[in-house]
């Protein structure tokens, strides 16, 4: 009985840690027993494996079982493209059209959610980077959202950067803005 407990505590120290303590504890106790039984089977010649091979196999099964169980119970993560698309669809009516800036009163130009621009027949949505991070990236990191937009080829930017420079209403100088193609509204991801 003493060697069984010793083997179980040895596995506990070497068990893969995947987070989620309560769930991990329940699964870990089951794999402790499997490890202890495997070590006894190796000791008495029933299993033709080394202790190291058995430990690796049990750790692999433990990790795989944990991740499969977590994948089955977890909800899918909202992608950055979906998040930005939903933000644009919800707020595009309040976006300021860059070409018609003079028709807006000064109060509307103080803190708009975004801007709308048309260049050579293509529509683009423009956002100041700080405002984009606060409003459109809720729940996700700014860098990951930008990377996903770039991957979907809806982010227009200068080589090596995340922004373009545009003259936007309410500002005297050109500003660095995040420029997203209207094709994002047709994106499925």
What tens digit of pLDDT does each residue of 39-54 get? 888 988 998 989 889 8
- Summarize pLDDT for 9-30 with one digit per residue, the tens: 887 777 766 555 666 677 777 8
Q: Quick one: pLDDT at residue 5? A: 80
Is the pTM for the entire model greater than 0.75?
no
State yes or no: pLDDT of 184 exceeds 70.
yes
Mean pLDDT of 164-189: 80
Of 109 and 51, more confident: 51
Burial 94-109 (b: 16+ CB within 10 A, else e): ebbebeeeeeeeeeee
- Give the mean model confidence (pLDDT) for residues 155-159: 81
Average pLDDT over residues 87-96: 87
Q: What three-state secondary structure class fits 152?
A: coil
Beta bridge partners of 125: 116, 180
Q: What is the mean pLDDT of residues 106-110?
A: 63
Indicate if the pLDDT at residue 38 is higher than 70.
yes
Q: What is the pLDDT of residues 68-85, one digit of tens each?
A: 766 666 666 778 888 899
Q: For residues 57 and 51, give the distance between their C-alpha atoms in angstroms, rounded to a whole number.
A: 10
Instruction: Give the pLDDT of residue 108.
Output: 60
**Dihedral angle sign, alpha carbons of residues 72, 75, 77, 82:** positive
Domain boundaries, the chain: 2-73, 80-186
- For residue 175, give the 3-state DSSP assignment: strand
Q: Residue 42's closest CA among 51, 33, 32, 30?
A: 51
Q: What was the pLDDT predicted at 98? A: 79
Please compute the mean of the pLDDT values over residues 159-167 and round it to a whole number: 76
Q: What HEC string does 70-138 produce?
A: HHHHCCCCCCHHHHHHHHHHHHHHHCEEHHHHHHCCCCCCCCCCCEEEEECCEEEEEECHHHHHHHCCC
d(CA 2, CA 9): 11
The 10 Å Cβ neighbour count of residue 7 is: 20
* pLDDT averaged over every residue in the chain: 80
pLDDT at 89: 92
Integer Rg of the chain from CA: 27
In sequence order, which residues have a C-beta less than 8 Å from that of residue 169 and are 6 or more positions away? 96, 98, 101, 104, 109, 115
């Amino acid at each position: 009985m003493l060697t069984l407990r010793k083997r179980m505590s040895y596995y506990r120290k070497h068990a893969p840690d995947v987070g989620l303590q309560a769930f991990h504890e329940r699964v870990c106790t089951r794999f402790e027993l499997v490890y202890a039984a495997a070590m006894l089977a190796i000791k008495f010649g029933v299993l033709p494996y080394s202790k190291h091979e058995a430990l690796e196999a049990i750790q692999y099964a433990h990790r795989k079982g944990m991740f499969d169980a977590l994948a089955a119970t977890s909800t899918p993560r909202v992608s950055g493209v979906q998040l930005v698309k939903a933000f644009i669809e919800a707020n595009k009516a309040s976006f300021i059209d860059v070409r018609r800036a003079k028709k807006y009163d000064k109060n509307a130009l103080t803190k708009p959610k975004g801007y709308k621009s048309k260049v050579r027949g293509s529509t683009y949505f423009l956002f100041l980077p700080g405002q984009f991070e606060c409003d459109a990236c809720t729940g996700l990191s700014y860098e990951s959202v930008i990377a996903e937009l770039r991957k979907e080829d809806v982010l227009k930017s200068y080589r090596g950067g995340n922004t373009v420079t545009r003259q936007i209403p309410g500002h005297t100088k050109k500003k660095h803005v995040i420029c997203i193609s209207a094709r994002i509204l047709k994106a499925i991801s």
